[in-house]
Structure 1
């Protein structure tokens, strides 16, 4: 056996059309219902020795509803979007189309004055690589979709632009096995530790 990190995507806090950069709204009623509906299938993950979450309201609430009592980790916060925080992509495109194009094309750029995609992926990867790891250990983290995309991109040693090709659905699980610098993506039929 080997060390397992199971990432659980937080429940939704808004519809996809109303998503805003760096949005920290709590779960909406639909999100609460979704967590309560899937709780029986995710409950076995609570056996993990280490339980963390992103500091966002939706991640903390998802972890609390599931009974995980996760510890919020600042390193698991979503990408810092600088002056774009709280705005939709459509709003930013209307005012700064060239900046959005540069941001999407160059993972090292941060035209919003926040964090580049490259820096974000490495921040999440550094957190993964510095977790206390014991052989056959288990850890879980309830995180925002962007954090899980960054973790998968880092674990697979994929180029940063591959981040945009990782889809993460609310309350889905992603398991990574291994440890510092030697992560593998494990595709399970169902969540397990």
Structure 2
């Protein structure tokens, strides 16, 4: 049985990652990618989330990545552009629901469960012709992919911390993913 390899690279640091905020489509900080680290070896497909920060990270890493809409960040709706602390003060009940109920989206955006379904579908759609995929994406997407690989689903989402520029490698294929390793990033 053939195996796929998917390397998920978390985008570099932005103003939102530095201030614990819900991001807008913002650029990388100027110092976000000082050392791009090792290359990726053979790559059959290079993808990235459709945001500016993912495209910029891919470019700095020397990856000619094609945007993929299913690798977009979790939609934070009304909370976009605000910090966690600001939202916790303005909408404590909504924040509590969002952190404890994966199906909840009180902010007018996307629920963690919806994100998990989207990312799980993307993973399970990987093709053997694209056996080695590198995707520059968002920490939330990588958390959802890890939850899918481990069979833990959205319940595991808040149990995983993804640093900027970390690399998460998954092996396997539809319905049989394995977390191979996580290389720490800069966070």
C-alpha displacement at 1:57, in angstroms? 1.2
Secondary structure of the corresponding residue to residue 50 of structure 2: coil
Greater shift, 1-10 or 104-113, is seen at 1-10
2:49 equivalent to 1:79 = no
Q: Which runs of 5+ in 2 are unaligned?
A: none
Secondary structure of the corresponding residue to residue 169 of structure 1: coil
2:13 equivalent to 1:18 = no
Task: Find the aligned partners of 1:84 and 1:189 in 2 and give their Cα distance.
Answer: 30
Q: 1:143 aligns with which of 137, 141, 157?
A: 137
Check conservation: 1:26, 1:57, Cα contact below 8 A. Answer: yes
Task: Find the aligned partners of 1:177 and 1:38 in 2 and give their Cα distance.
Answer: 23
| Match of residue 33 from structure 2 | 32
TM-score, normalised to structure 2, is 0.90
Check conservation: 2:166, 2:183, Cα contact below 8 A. Answer: no
| Match of residue 177 from structure 1 | 171
Task: Find the aligned partners of 1:31 and 1:180 in 2 and give their Cα distance.
Answer: 33
Task: Find the aligned partners of 1:131 and 1:153 in 2 and give their Cα distance.
Answer: 17
| Match of residue 56 from structure 2 | 61
Task: Find the aligned partners of 1:75 and 1:61 in 2 and give their Cα distance.
Answer: 18
Post-superposition Cα deviations, 1:134-185, rounded to whole Å, max 9, x if no partner, equal 49x2111011111111110111110422111111111111111111121111
C-alpha displacement at 1:55, in angstroms? 1.2
CA RMSD, aligned part only?
A: 1.9
Task: Find the aligned partners of 1:65 and 1:185 in 2 and give their Cα distance.
Answer: 26
Task: Find the aligned partners of 2:23 and 2:108 in 1 and give their Cα distance.
Answer: 13
| Structure 2 CA distance for partners of 1:123 and 1:189, relative to 1, 3 Å | closer
Check conservation: 2:16, 2:23, Cα contact below 8 A. Answer: no
Q: Which runs of 5+ in 1 are unaligned?
A: none
| Structure 2 CA distance for partners of 1:100 and 1:68, relative to 1, 3 Å | same
Task: Find the aligned partners of 1:148 and 1:115 in 2 and give their Cα distance.
Answer: 16
Task: Find the aligned partners of 2:169 and 2:43 in 1 and give their Cα distance.
Answer: 13
Task: Find the aligned partners of 1:170 and 1:111 in 2 and give their Cα distance.
Answer: 27
TM-score, normalised to structure 1, is 0.87
| Structure 2 CA distance for partners of 1:91 and 1:121, relative to 1, 3 Å | same
Task: Find the aligned partners of 2:61 and 2:154 in 1 and give their Cα distance.
Answer: 32
